[in-house]
Amino acid sequence: MIRKLGIFSFIILSSSWLAWKTFAADDRYLNLQIFAKVLNIVQQYYVEPVDSQKLIYGGIKGMLRELDPHTNFLPPDIYKEFESETSGEFGGIGIEISVEDGILTIISPIEDTPAWKAGIQPGDKIVEINGESTKGLSLVEAAQKMKGKNGEKIKLGIMREGLEEPKTYTLAREIVKLHSVKFVDLEDGYGYIRLTSFIENSAKEMREQLANLKKKQKNIKGIILDLRRNPGGLLDQAVQVSNLFLERGVIVSTIGRDKNKKEVIQAKDSGTYSGFPVIVLINESSASASEIVAGALKDNKRALIMGKRSFGKGSVQSVVKMGDGSGLKLTVARYYTPSGISIQAEGIKPDIEVDEMDMATIEKAKENYHVRREADIEGHLVNESEKAKQKKKEMAKSSWWQKFNAKEKNDKNSLLTNDYQVLQAYNYIKAWKVFKSL
Protein backbone atom coordinates (compact mmCIF):
# COMPACT_ATOMS: atom_id res chain seq x y z
CA MET A 1 0.00 0.00 0.00
CA ILE A 2 2.77 2.36 0.90
CA ARG A 3 4.59 1.47 -2.30
CA LYS A 4 1.44 2.16 -4.36
CA LEU A 5 1.03 5.52 -2.67
CA GLY A 6 4.70 6.24 -3.41
CA ILE A 7 4.26 5.40 -7.08
CA PHE A 8 1.03 7.42 -7.23
CA SER A 9 2.76 10.39 -5.60
CA PHE A 10 5.61 10.07 -8.11
CA ILE A 11 3.13 10.06 -11.01
CA ILE A 12 1.46 13.20 -9.61
CA LEU A 13 4.81 14.93 -9.15
CA SER A 14 5.99 13.88 -12.62
CA SER A 15 2.77 15.16 -14.17
CA SER A 16 3.12 18.45 -12.28
CA TRP A 17 6.71 18.81 -13.47
CA LEU A 18 5.71 18.12 -17.10
CA ALA A 19 2.84 20.58 -16.80
CA TRP A 20 5.21 23.22 -15.37
CA LYS A 21 7.74 22.60 -18.20
CA THR A 22 4.92 22.88 -20.78
CA PHE A 23 3.66 26.08 -19.13
CA ALA A 24 7.19 27.55 -19.04
CA ALA A 25 7.70 26.68 -22.72
CA ASP A 26 4.27 28.08 -23.63
CA ASP A 27 5.05 31.24 -21.64
CA ARG A 28 8.31 31.67 -23.53
CA TYR A 29 6.66 31.17 -26.93
CA LEU A 30 3.84 33.51 -25.90
CA ASN A 31 6.46 36.25 -25.33
CA LEU A 32 7.97 35.50 -28.74
CA GLN A 33 4.50 35.81 -30.27
CA ILE A 34 4.18 39.24 -28.63
CA PHE A 35 7.56 40.24 -30.12
CA ALA A 36 6.47 39.03 -33.58
CA LYS A 37 3.14 40.84 -33.24
CA VAL A 38 4.81 44.14 -32.27
CA LEU A 39 7.26 43.76 -35.16
CA ASN A 40 4.36 43.15 -37.57
CA ILE A 41 2.37 46.17 -36.30
CA VAL A 42 5.43 48.46 -36.60
CA GLN A 43 6.09 47.23 -40.15
CA GLN A 44 2.49 47.85 -41.20
CA TYR A 45 1.54 51.05 -39.44
CA TYR A 46 4.64 53.04 -38.47
CA VAL A 47 4.59 56.49 -40.05
CA GLU A 48 7.61 55.70 -42.27
CA PRO A 49 8.96 52.50 -43.87
CA VAL A 50 11.28 50.62 -41.52
CA ASP A 51 14.16 48.18 -41.99
CA SER A 52 13.08 44.84 -40.49
CA GLN A 53 16.67 43.76 -39.84
CA LYS A 54 17.37 46.99 -37.97
CA LEU A 55 14.32 46.38 -35.75
CA ILE A 56 15.27 42.77 -35.02
CA TYR A 57 18.90 43.70 -34.26
CA GLY A 58 17.61 46.46 -31.96
CA GLY A 59 15.35 43.96 -30.20
CA ILE A 60 18.28 41.60 -29.62
CA LYS A 61 20.44 44.44 -28.27
CA GLY A 62 17.67 45.46 -25.88
CA MET A 63 17.33 41.87 -24.63
CA LEU A 64 21.07 41.52 -23.99
CA ARG A 65 21.18 44.88 -22.20
CA GLU A 66 19.29 43.13 -19.36
CA LEU A 67 22.40 40.95 -18.80
CA ASP A 68 26.00 41.90 -17.85
CA PRO A 69 27.92 44.63 -19.77
CA HIS A 70 30.25 42.09 -21.43
CA THR A 71 27.37 40.28 -23.21
CA ASN A 72 26.78 42.00 -26.54
CA PHE A 73 25.33 41.50 -30.01
CA LEU A 74 27.82 42.15 -32.81
CA PRO A 75 26.32 43.13 -36.18
CA PRO A 76 28.27 41.77 -39.21
CA ASP A 77 30.52 44.86 -39.64
CA ILE A 78 31.40 44.98 -35.93
CA TYR A 79 31.95 41.21 -35.76
CA LYS A 80 34.43 41.49 -38.62
CA GLU A 81 36.32 44.24 -36.75
CA PHE A 82 36.22 42.16 -33.55
CA GLU A 83 37.96 39.27 -35.33
CA SER A 84 40.72 41.58 -36.63
CA GLU A 85 41.47 43.12 -33.21
CA THR A 86 42.95 39.96 -31.67
CA SER A 87 45.34 39.57 -34.62
CA GLY A 88 47.22 42.64 -33.38
CA GLU A 89 46.22 45.26 -35.96
CA PHE A 90 43.03 47.33 -36.11
CA GLY A 91 41.78 50.85 -36.70
CA GLY A 92 40.83 53.11 -33.81
CA ILE A 93 42.21 55.20 -30.95
CA GLY A 94 43.49 52.40 -28.71
CA ILE A 95 41.44 52.11 -25.51
CA GLU A 96 39.87 49.26 -23.55
CA ILE A 97 36.46 50.25 -22.19
CA SER A 98 33.84 48.99 -19.75
CA VAL A 99 30.51 50.17 -18.37
CA GLU A 100 30.58 51.05 -14.66
CA ASP A 101 27.39 52.25 -12.97
CA GLY A 102 25.94 52.91 -16.41
CA ILE A 103 28.87 55.16 -17.42
CA LEU A 104 31.34 54.39 -20.20
CA THR A 105 34.68 54.02 -18.41
CA ILE A 106 38.22 53.53 -19.68
CA ILE A 107 39.95 50.47 -18.22
CA SER A 108 43.21 51.36 -19.89
CA PRO A 109 44.64 53.16 -22.93
CA ILE A 110 46.88 50.87 -24.97
CA GLU A 111 50.51 51.98 -25.12
CA ASP A 112 51.74 53.90 -28.17
CA THR A 113 48.21 54.53 -29.48
CA PRO A 114 46.47 57.91 -30.07
CA ALA A 115 44.67 57.70 -26.70
CA TRP A 116 47.92 56.92 -24.85
CA LYS A 117 49.80 59.77 -26.54
CA ALA A 118 46.98 62.24 -25.83
CA GLY A 119 47.18 61.56 -22.09
CA ILE A 120 43.89 59.73 -21.59
CA GLN A 121 44.01 57.86 -18.27
CA PRO A 122 42.58 54.68 -16.72
CA GLY A 123 39.33 55.48 -14.92
CA ASP A 124 38.41 58.38 -17.23
CA LYS A 125 34.67 58.59 -17.94
CA ILE A 126 33.65 59.09 -21.59
CA VAL A 127 30.54 61.27 -21.38
CA GLU A 128 30.47 62.45 -25.00
CA ILE A 129 31.54 61.14 -28.39
CA ASN A 130 31.61 63.82 -31.10
CA GLY A 131 29.30 66.00 -29.00
CA GLU A 132 26.70 63.27 -28.38
CA SER A 133 25.99 61.88 -24.92
CA THR A 134 27.13 58.31 -24.23
CA LYS A 135 24.32 57.72 -21.72
CA GLY A 136 22.64 54.36 -22.38
CA LEU A 137 25.22 53.17 -24.93
CA SER A 138 26.36 49.55 -24.78
CA LEU A 139 30.03 48.67 -25.15
CA VAL A 140 29.49 47.59 -28.74
CA GLU A 141 27.60 50.77 -29.65
CA ALA A 142 30.30 52.92 -28.06
CA ALA A 143 33.07 51.02 -29.85
CA GLN A 144 31.25 51.44 -33.14
CA LYS A 145 31.03 55.21 -32.66
CA MET A 146 34.73 55.47 -31.86
CA LYS A 147 35.95 53.49 -34.85
CA GLY A 148 36.27 54.99 -38.31
CA LYS A 149 38.57 55.57 -41.24
CA ASN A 150 42.29 55.94 -40.68
CA GLY A 151 43.16 59.63 -40.19
CA GLU A 152 39.62 60.75 -39.32
CA LYS A 153 39.32 62.79 -36.14
CA ILE A 154 37.13 62.04 -33.16
CA LYS A 155 36.25 64.18 -30.16
CA LEU A 156 35.85 62.61 -26.73
CA GLY A 157 34.32 64.44 -23.77
CA ILE A 158 36.20 63.13 -20.72
CA MET A 159 35.38 63.54 -17.04
CA ARG A 160 37.89 62.63 -14.34
CA GLU A 161 38.47 63.39 -10.69
CA GLY A 162 39.39 67.04 -10.21
CA LEU A 163 37.56 68.31 -13.32
CA GLU A 164 34.44 70.44 -12.92
CA GLU A 165 33.32 69.96 -16.53
CA PRO A 166 34.23 67.55 -19.36
CA LYS A 167 37.57 68.03 -21.06
CA THR A 168 37.51 67.56 -24.83
CA TYR A 169 40.21 65.44 -26.46
CA THR A 170 40.54 65.51 -30.24
CA LEU A 171 42.20 62.34 -31.55
CA ALA A 172 43.09 61.17 -35.04
CA ARG A 173 42.24 57.53 -35.64
CA GLU A 174 45.14 55.29 -36.65
CA ILE A 175 45.76 51.75 -37.73
CA VAL A 176 46.74 50.44 -34.32
CA LYS A 177 49.54 47.90 -34.53
CA LEU A 178 50.00 46.17 -31.23
CA HIS A 179 53.46 45.07 -30.15
CA SER A 180 52.47 43.48 -26.91
CA VAL A 181 55.91 42.54 -25.54
CA LYS A 182 58.54 45.12 -24.53
CA PHE A 183 61.84 43.99 -23.03
CA VAL A 184 64.55 45.84 -21.11
CA ASP A 185 67.81 44.16 -20.10
CA LEU A 186 68.44 45.10 -16.46
CA GLU A 187 71.92 43.50 -16.70
CA ASP A 188 73.57 40.84 -14.54
CA GLY A 189 70.96 38.28 -15.57
CA TYR A 190 67.89 40.34 -14.67
CA GLY A 191 65.20 41.25 -17.18
CA TYR A 192 62.08 43.41 -17.34
CA ILE A 193 59.18 42.34 -19.58
CA ARG A 194 56.22 44.65 -20.16
CA LEU A 195 53.15 42.87 -21.57
CA THR A 196 50.65 45.44 -22.86
CA SER A 197 47.94 43.00 -24.03
CA PHE A 198 47.34 39.33 -24.82
CA ILE A 199 47.19 38.95 -28.60
CA GLU A 200 48.02 36.08 -30.93
CA ASN A 201 51.83 36.09 -30.62
CA SER A 202 52.30 37.41 -27.07
CA ALA A 203 53.53 34.14 -25.53
CA LYS A 204 55.79 33.42 -28.51
CA GLU A 205 57.42 36.88 -28.27
CA MET A 206 57.91 36.47 -24.52
CA ARG A 207 59.55 33.07 -25.02
CA GLU A 208 61.95 34.59 -27.55
CA GLN A 209 62.93 37.39 -25.15
CA LEU A 210 63.56 34.92 -22.32
CA ALA A 211 65.62 32.72 -24.65
CA ASN A 212 67.70 35.73 -25.75
CA LEU A 213 68.32 36.79 -22.13
CA LYS A 214 69.38 33.27 -21.16
CA LYS A 215 71.70 33.03 -24.15
CA LYS A 216 73.25 36.43 -23.43
CA GLN A 217 73.61 36.05 -19.65
CA LYS A 218 73.90 32.21 -19.54
CA ASN A 219 71.72 32.27 -16.46
CA ILE A 220 68.48 34.16 -15.71
CA LYS A 221 68.64 35.56 -12.16
CA GLY A 222 65.20 37.18 -12.06
CA ILE A 223 62.34 38.57 -14.15
CA ILE A 224 60.00 41.51 -13.53
CA LEU A 225 56.76 40.87 -15.45
CA ASP A 226 54.82 44.13 -15.79
CA LEU A 227 51.06 43.61 -16.33
CA ARG A 228 50.00 47.10 -15.24
CA ARG A 229 47.42 48.74 -17.52
CA ASN A 230 47.08 45.43 -19.41
CA PRO A 231 43.34 45.08 -20.21
CA GLY A 232 43.59 41.38 -21.14
CA GLY A 233 42.90 39.55 -24.39
CA LEU A 234 43.08 35.92 -25.48
CA LEU A 235 42.69 33.19 -22.85
CA ASP A 236 45.03 30.76 -24.65
CA GLN A 237 47.79 33.38 -24.53
CA ALA A 238 47.28 33.88 -20.78
CA VAL A 239 47.62 30.11 -20.35
CA GLN A 240 50.77 29.96 -22.50
CA VAL A 241 52.37 32.91 -20.66
CA SER A 242 51.65 31.20 -17.32
CA ASN A 243 53.14 27.99 -18.75
CA LEU A 244 56.43 29.80 -19.39
CA PHE A 245 56.97 29.97 -15.63
CA LEU A 246 54.96 27.01 -14.24
CA GLU A 247 56.11 23.38 -14.43
CA ARG A 248 52.95 21.98 -12.84
CA GLY A 249 49.74 22.94 -11.08
CA VAL A 250 46.42 24.53 -12.02
CA ILE A 251 46.53 27.73 -14.10
CA VAL A 252 42.84 28.60 -14.07
CA SER A 253 39.44 26.96 -13.80
CA THR A 254 36.03 28.01 -15.10
CA ILE A 255 32.54 27.24 -13.83
CA GLY A 256 29.45 28.01 -15.90
CA ARG A 257 25.75 27.68 -15.17
CA ASP A 258 26.11 24.04 -14.15
CA LYS A 259 28.08 24.31 -10.90
CA ASN A 260 28.93 20.61 -11.06
CA LYS A 261 30.86 21.02 -14.30
CA LYS A 262 34.24 22.57 -13.71
CA GLU A 263 36.81 23.01 -16.47
CA VAL A 264 40.39 23.02 -15.20
CA ILE A 265 43.48 24.06 -17.19
CA GLN A 266 46.72 22.52 -15.95
CA ALA A 267 50.29 23.72 -16.53
CA LYS A 268 52.62 21.69 -18.73
CA ASP A 269 56.28 21.29 -17.82
CA SER A 270 57.64 21.45 -21.39
CA GLY A 271 59.57 24.64 -22.22
CA THR A 272 59.26 26.08 -18.71
CA TYR A 273 61.70 28.69 -17.39
CA SER A 274 62.31 27.99 -13.71
CA GLY A 275 64.97 28.33 -11.02
CA PHE A 276 64.76 32.12 -10.69
CA PRO A 277 62.40 34.55 -8.90
CA VAL A 278 59.60 36.39 -10.69
CA ILE A 279 57.88 39.59 -9.58
CA VAL A 280 54.59 40.47 -11.26
CA LEU A 281 53.47 44.11 -11.26
CA ILE A 282 49.71 44.80 -11.38
CA ASN A 283 47.44 47.78 -10.82
CA GLU A 284 43.78 48.80 -10.99
CA SER A 285 43.84 48.56 -14.81
CA SER A 286 45.18 45.00 -14.98
CA ALA A 287 42.17 42.98 -16.12
CA SER A 288 40.95 39.61 -17.37
CA ALA A 289 43.88 37.64 -18.87
CA SER A 290 46.32 39.69 -16.75
CA GLU A 291 44.48 38.57 -13.64
CA ILE A 292 44.59 34.94 -14.76
CA VAL A 293 48.40 35.06 -15.09
CA ALA A 294 48.88 36.94 -11.80
CA GLY A 295 46.52 34.56 -9.98
CA ALA A 296 48.17 31.45 -11.41
CA LEU A 297 51.71 32.54 -10.51
CA LYS A 298 50.63 33.79 -7.07
CA ASP A 299 48.66 30.71 -5.99
CA ASN A 300 51.34 28.33 -7.27
CA LYS A 301 53.98 30.22 -5.21
CA ARG A 302 55.91 30.99 -8.40
CA ALA A 303 55.87 34.80 -8.22
CA LEU A 304 55.57 37.69 -5.83
CA ILE A 305 52.73 40.06 -6.80
CA MET A 306 53.38 43.78 -6.30
CA GLY A 307 51.42 46.97 -6.94
CA LYS A 308 47.70 47.59 -6.41
CA ARG A 309 44.60 45.35 -6.46
CA SER A 310 43.61 44.50 -10.05
CA PHE A 311 40.44 45.42 -11.95
CA GLY A 312 38.30 42.32 -11.21
CA LYS A 313 37.04 41.23 -14.62
CA GLY A 314 36.63 37.51 -13.98
CA SER A 315 34.00 36.40 -16.47
CA VAL A 316 34.39 34.20 -19.56
CA GLN A 317 32.90 35.21 -22.90
CA SER A 318 32.27 32.92 -25.86
CA VAL A 319 31.63 34.40 -29.30
CA VAL A 320 29.13 32.59 -31.52
CA LYS A 321 29.05 33.45 -35.21
CA MET A 322 25.55 33.69 -36.69
CA GLY A 323 24.46 32.74 -40.18
CA ASP A 324 24.22 36.35 -41.40
CA GLY A 325 27.80 37.18 -40.36
CA SER A 326 26.79 38.74 -37.04
CA GLY A 327 27.99 37.43 -33.70
CA LEU A 328 26.85 36.91 -30.13
CA LYS A 329 29.39 37.63 -27.40
CA LEU A 330 27.96 35.83 -24.38
CA THR A 331 29.19 35.53 -20.79
CA VAL A 332 29.22 31.77 -20.15
CA ALA A 333 31.33 31.25 -17.00
CA ARG A 334 33.44 32.75 -14.21
CA TYR A 335 37.20 32.44 -13.77
CA TYR A 336 38.68 30.96 -10.59
CA THR A 337 42.31 31.10 -9.47
CA PRO A 338 44.08 27.81 -8.56
CA SER A 339 43.09 28.32 -4.91
CA GLY A 340 39.42 28.52 -5.92
CA ILE A 341 38.92 32.29 -5.55
CA SER A 342 36.66 34.04 -8.07
CA ILE A 343 38.35 37.00 -9.74
CA GLN A 344 34.99 38.59 -10.61
CA ALA A 345 34.60 41.99 -8.93
CA GLU A 346 37.37 40.98 -6.49
CA GLY A 347 40.55 41.20 -8.54
CA ILE A 348 43.97 39.95 -7.47
CA LYS A 349 45.29 41.31 -4.21
CA PRO A 350 49.08 41.95 -4.34
CA ASP A 351 51.41 40.33 -1.81
CA ILE A 352 53.08 43.71 -1.38
CA GLU A 353 51.15 46.93 -1.99
CA VAL A 354 53.17 49.66 -3.69
CA ASP A 355 51.59 52.96 -4.73
CA GLU A 356 52.43 54.71 -7.97
CA MET A 357 54.48 57.76 -7.03
CA ASP A 358 55.91 60.70 -8.91
CA MET A 359 59.69 60.16 -9.09
CA ALA A 360 60.37 63.90 -9.48
CA THR A 361 58.71 64.52 -6.08
CA ILE A 362 60.78 61.74 -4.49
CA GLU A 363 64.03 63.09 -5.93
CA LYS A 364 63.20 66.62 -4.72
CA ALA A 365 62.59 65.26 -1.20
CA LYS A 366 65.96 63.51 -1.33
CA GLU A 367 67.71 66.75 -2.29
CA ASN A 368 66.15 68.54 0.68
CA TYR A 369 67.19 65.81 3.07
CA HIS A 370 70.94 65.45 3.50
CA VAL A 371 72.90 63.84 6.34
CA ARG A 372 76.51 65.00 6.79
CA ARG A 373 79.12 62.24 6.78
CA GLU A 374 82.92 62.09 6.93
CA ALA A 375 83.04 62.38 3.16
CA ASP A 376 81.34 65.81 3.35
CA ILE A 377 84.07 67.35 5.51
CA GLU A 378 86.54 69.42 3.51
CA GLY A 379 90.07 67.93 3.45
CA HIS A 380 88.99 64.41 4.55
CA LEU A 381 91.28 61.47 3.80
CA VAL A 382 90.38 59.91 0.45
CA ASN A 383 90.32 56.10 0.19
CA GLU A 384 91.00 54.05 -2.97
CA SER A 385 87.35 53.31 -3.78
CA GLU A 386 86.53 57.03 -3.67
CA LYS A 387 89.37 57.74 -6.12
CA ALA A 388 87.96 55.12 -8.48
CA LYS A 389 84.46 56.66 -8.25
CA GLN A 390 85.84 60.12 -9.00
CA LYS A 391 87.69 58.82 -12.05
CA LYS A 392 84.53 57.13 -13.29
CA LYS A 393 82.55 60.38 -12.88
CA GLU A 394 85.12 62.32 -14.90
CA MET A 395 85.04 59.69 -17.64
CA ALA A 396 81.23 59.76 -17.74
CA LYS A 397 81.33 63.51 -18.49
CA SER A 398 83.13 62.94 -21.79
CA SER A 399 80.83 62.79 -24.83
CA TRP A 400 82.53 59.73 -26.44
CA TRP A 401 81.90 57.63 -23.31
CA GLN A 402 78.26 58.70 -23.17
CA LYS A 403 77.72 57.63 -26.78
CA PHE A 404 79.54 54.34 -26.18
CA ASN A 405 77.54 53.53 -23.05
CA ALA A 406 74.13 54.97 -24.03
CA LYS A 407 72.46 52.03 -25.81
CA GLU A 408 72.67 49.51 -22.95
CA LYS A 409 72.15 51.91 -20.09
CA ASN A 410 69.49 54.23 -21.47
CA ASP A 411 66.44 51.97 -21.27
CA LYS A 412 67.45 50.56 -17.89
CA ASN A 413 68.24 53.94 -16.32
CA SER A 414 65.15 55.58 -17.78
CA LEU A 415 62.97 52.78 -16.46
CA LEU A 416 64.42 52.74 -12.95
CA THR A 417 64.58 56.51 -12.54
CA ASN A 418 61.08 57.23 -13.87
CA ASP A 419 58.97 54.38 -12.50
CA TYR A 420 58.78 54.00 -8.71
CA GLN A 421 56.97 50.64 -8.75
CA VAL A 422 59.49 49.10 -11.15
CA LEU A 423 62.34 50.45 -9.02
CA GLN A 424 60.84 48.79 -5.93
CA ALA A 425 60.36 45.51 -7.81
CA TYR A 426 63.99 45.69 -8.96
CA ASN A 427 65.21 46.27 -5.40
CA TYR A 428 63.19 43.30 -4.14
CA ILE A 429 64.32 40.93 -6.86
CA LYS A 430 67.98 41.91 -6.39
CA ALA A 431 67.65 41.28 -2.63
CA TRP A 432 65.88 37.93 -3.17
CA LYS A 433 69.09 35.92 -3.28
CA VAL A 434 70.41 37.64 -0.12
CA PHE A 435 67.28 36.86 1.90
CA LYS A 436 67.15 33.29 0.58
CA SER A 437 70.68 32.64 1.84
CA LEU A 438 69.91 33.88 5.38
- The CATH number assigned to the domain holding 133 equals 2.30.42.10
pLDDT at residue 438, as a whole number: 65
Residues 416 and 378 in one domain: yes
How confident is the model at residue 98, as a pLDDT?
83
Residues 138 and 217 in one domain: no
Q: Which residues are catalytic?
A: 288, 299, 313
If asked whether residues 188 and 334 sit together in one domain, one would say yes
**Residues 142, 201: one domain?**
no
pLDDT of residue 378 exceeding 80, the answer is no
Q: Do 101 and 218 belong together in one domain?
A: no
CATH of the domain at 297: 3.90.226.10
Would 98 be classed as within a structural domain?
A: yes
Highest-confidence segment of 317-321, 406-410, 421-425? 421-425
Q: What is the pLDDT of residues 212-224, one digit of tens each?
A: 999 998 889 999 9
267 and 339 part of one domain:
yes
Domain assignment present for residue 343? The answer is yes
Which one of 177, 202, 217 terminates a domain? 177
Cα angle vertex 379, ends 377, 385, to 5°? 85
Q: Is residue 58 part of a domain?
A: no
274 and 330, same domain (yes or no): yes
pLDDT at 150: 84
Number of domains in the chain: 3
Instruction: Looking at the structure, tell me whether residues 194 and 260 fall in a common domain.
Output: yes
Comparing 40 with 370, the larger pLDDT belongs to: 40
| Residue 386 clears pLDDT 90, i.e. is over it | no
Q: What is residue 311's predicted lDDT score, i.e. its pLDDT?
A: 93
Q: Which of 18-22, 93-97, 267-271 has the lowest mean pLDDT?
A: 18-22
Q: Does residue 332 belong to any structural domain of this protein?
A: yes
Judged by phi (left if over 0) then psi (alpha if -120 to 50, else beta), residue 345 lies in left
| Residue 9 within a domain | no
Q: Are residues 145 and 233 in the same domain?
A: no
Residue 235 near residue 287 (C-beta atoms within 8 A): no
Q: Which domain holds residue 418?
A: 359-383+394-437
